[in-house]
Amino acid sequence: MGRRPQRDIRDRLLAACTDHVLLHGLPPGLSAFAAGAGTSPRMLIYHFGTRERLLREVLAEARRRQLGLFHEVLEPRGEPYTRTLARAWGVLTGPEGAPFLRLFGMVHNTPEGRSLWPDFRRAATTDWLEVLERGLRPARGDAAPATATAVLAVMRGLLLDRDATGDTARADAAFAAFLGFLDLPGPGFAGSGTEGAGPVP
C-alpha cells in the first residue's frame, strides 16, 4: 500500500504554490509551480492529483487569505465607518491587496479562470456584504443591507476604472468623494466623520 501524503508537506506546498500564483498569476503548467515551491512536478501530482485540482485549491487558499485580510480591515472599530472604509480602500488598492486583485481579475476575465471557479462572480459579491452591513448598521439601521450593496458596487466599479485607465488618483478621489456623500445629514445617517478621511495607504 502506498504512503498517504503527509499533511504538513502538502500544506507547505499549497502555501508555496499560492505565494507563487499571487506573485506571477496562473502558470501554464506544473513546472513553474514546482520551481516556485522548491519541489518537482511529480511531487505536486502525488500530493494534489492533477494540475486543475492544485489550481482550485490554490485559488481557495488565496481567497481565504484575502477574506481574512479584508474582513479584518472592514470590521467596525468604534469610529465613523466612513473612516474604516477609507482605510480598507487603501489596503485593497495598496501593496497588500494588489496581488489579490490581479489574481482574481484573471479568474474573472480568462476562460481558464472561469472554468476553475464558475461561481466566482457571485462569491466576489456576497463574500463582502455581511461585514459591510455590520459596519454600516449603527448609522444606517434597516437601510444597512442596501447601503452595503451600494458601497460594494462603487468599490468594484472604481476598481474596474483603475484597471482600465490606470488613473489611480482619480479613482481614489472619487472614492473619497463617495464617502463624503455617505455622511450627508438625514434620517439614518451618521454625523460628519470623514473630514480628511481620504484613502489611507
Grid coordinates representing 182?
455617505
**Which of these, 25, 21, 105, 32, lies nearest to 58 by C-alpha position?**
21
CA–CA distance, 179 with 188 (Å, rounded to integer):
15
Torsion (CA) 69, 84, 103, 147 in degrees, nearest 10: 120
Region 179-197 average pLDDT:
51
The predicted model scores a pTM of 0.78
For residue 124, pLDDT over 80 is answered with no
Residues whose CB falls within 8 Å of the CB of residue 122, separated by 6 or more in sequence, listed in order: none
Secondary structure (DSSP) of 10-63: HHHHHHHHHHHHHHH-S-SSHHHHHHHHTS-HHHHHHHHSSHHHHHHHHHHHHH
Region 172-194 average pLDDT:
66
Residues whose CB falls within 8 Å of the CB of residue 165, separated by 6 or more in sequence, listed in order: none
Identify the pLDDT of residue 106. 82
Identify the pLDDT of residue 33. 82
CA–CA distance, 109 with 162 (Å, rounded to integer):
15
Identify the pLDDT of residue 30. 87
Residue 107 main-chain phi, psi, to 5 deg: -60, -40
pLDDT class for 36, splitting at 50, 70, 90? confident
pLDDT class for 76, splitting at 50, 70, 90? confident
DSSP state of 171: H
**Which of these, 153, 114, 111, 148, lies nearest to 133 by C-alpha position?**
148
